[in-house]
Amino acid sequence: MSVQGGSGAQCRRVVDFRKCCHRISNRLGLGSQKRDETFYLDLLFYHIRLHRYFVIELKTGKFKPEWAGKLNFYLAALNGTMRTPVEGPSIGILLCESKSGPIVEFALENINQPIGVSTYRVTRELPAPIREELPTVEDLQEVVNKLRSEMESLRKELPNEE
């Protein structure tokens, strides 16, 4: 299963985003000497040309207002701990299965961080431009089979420790 992108222009934007962004750890550590807490972001990218962090949260189901609050927290924490004076404010993107315009508007009304909410659609087919860039299932299966046979050969070469 995959996330369907839509038009060719949208697919090019996704590819362009990946060319100019670097994925960073999804762990965001906060705390003091007395109490350390770690929070796990779904995806954290750094956009090299825009000099900004992007937090992308992936949610299943219908949009819930508390997701906007959680994303706002992540952005504030990221801006407060990692952002330097030369970098722009971090941007949050919330992807969920469905959304209601008024609920999203009310949830974001008093949030001062740049946050976007969008939906996605799950499909079994990848768009052609992306499909051409990825290995086939058969290619991956061949690699797995080769690795298995290499591991079995190595096991046979090792002395039996019984």
Tell me the average pLDDT of the chain.
75
Q: pLDDT band at 12, cuts 50/70/90?
A: very low
Tell me the per-residue pLDDT of 42-66, one tens digit each, with 9 for 90 and over: 888 888 888 888 888 888 888 888 9
Residue 21 has pLDDT above 60, yes or no: yes
Domains identified in the chain and CATH numbers: 2-125 (3.40.1350.10)
- What is the full DSSP assignment across the chain? -EE---SHHHHHHHHHHHHHEEEE-SEEEEE-SS-EEEEE-SEEEEETTTTEEEEEEE--SB--HHHHHHHHHHHHHHHHHT--TTSPPPEEEEEESB--HHHHHHHHTT--S-EEEEE--EESS--HHHHTTS--HHHHHHHHHHHHHHHHHHHHHSPP--
Please report the pLDDT score of residue 86 as a whole number.
92
Question: Higher-confidence residue: 162 or 80?
Answer: 80
Statement: the pTM of the whole predicted model exceeds 0.85: no
30 has a pLDDT exceeding 50: yes
